[in-house]
Amino acid sequence: MALIPRAFGNSVFDPFFGSSIFDPFENLSASLFDRAFPSFDKDVSAVANTRVDWVETPEAHVFKADLPGMKKDEIKIQVADDGVLSISGERSKEKVDEKDNYRRSERSFGKFFRQFKLPANAKAQEISAKVENGVLTVTVPKTEESKKKSEIRTVEITG
């Protein structure tokens, strides 16, 4: 016989055994997007929640995307003639055994798609990419002219 009281088949106080009647942390894991648009399914949420950092260094534009659990074969990177970089992919939903009883399913799955307009100083034909530890890094080198340090001159104000 359990020492923890039960209600509706779940533990009232034990947060480690499924959802309880009172779970103060239940909504903390939901993103602001999920709270604003609760009717969206997980496929749409996966698209909206793919985070990408874009850092401009003196030598290149570097894009980093967190894609945990994805293999390089599941990710597609394309560059259009108009200088638009597209990063897309799909994380498949794991097969669920009918005998398993999921208490919570929070990992996202589905397709994602992000686009970025590259600046004029980007060498689109020399883009490289790698996936390491769940982070996709796309490096877009800059043209030689843009790597040169610009000279700054002082303009005299008259009047």
Quick check: is 150 in a domain?
no
Highest mean pLDDT among 29-38, 46-55, 124-133: 124-133
Quick check: is 20 in a domain?
no
For 38-62, the DSSP string reads: TTS-HHHHHHHT--EEEEE-SSEEE
Q: Using CA atoms, how far apart are residues 140 and 83, in angstroms rounded to an integer?
A: 11
Q: Could you tell me the residue range of the domain that residue 40 belongs to?
A: 26-90+108-145
More confident residue, 92 or 140: 140
Quick check: is 122 in a domain?
yes
In total, how many domains does the chain have? 1
Quick check: is 7 in a domain?
no
Q: Using CA atoms, how far apart are residues 28 and 92, in angstroms rounded to an integer?
A: 25
Answer yes or no: is pLDDT of 51 > 90.
no
pTM of model > 0.85: no
H or E stretch covering 75: strand 75-79
Q: For residue 80, give the CATH number of its domain.
A: 2.60.40.790
Quick check: is 15 in a domain?
no
Q: Using CA atoms, how far apart are residues 75 and 65, in angstroms rounded to an integer?
A: 11
Quick check: is 97 in a domain?
no
* Residues 80 and 46 sit within 8 Å (Cβ to Cβ): no
More confident residue, 111 or 148: 111
What are the CA-CA distances from residue 29 to residues 46, 95, 126, 140 (Å)?
A: 15, 24, 39, 34
Quick check: is 14 in a domain?
no
Quick check: is 157 in a domain?
no
Q: Percent of the chain scored above 90 by pLDDT?
A: 38
pLDDT at residue 75, rounded to an integer: 94
Contacts of 98 (CB under 8 A, 6+ apart): none
Degrees to nearest 5, angle at CA 133 with 84 and 130: 35
Tell me the longest C-alpha to C-alpha distance in the chain: 92
pLDDT at residue 106, rounded to an integer: 73
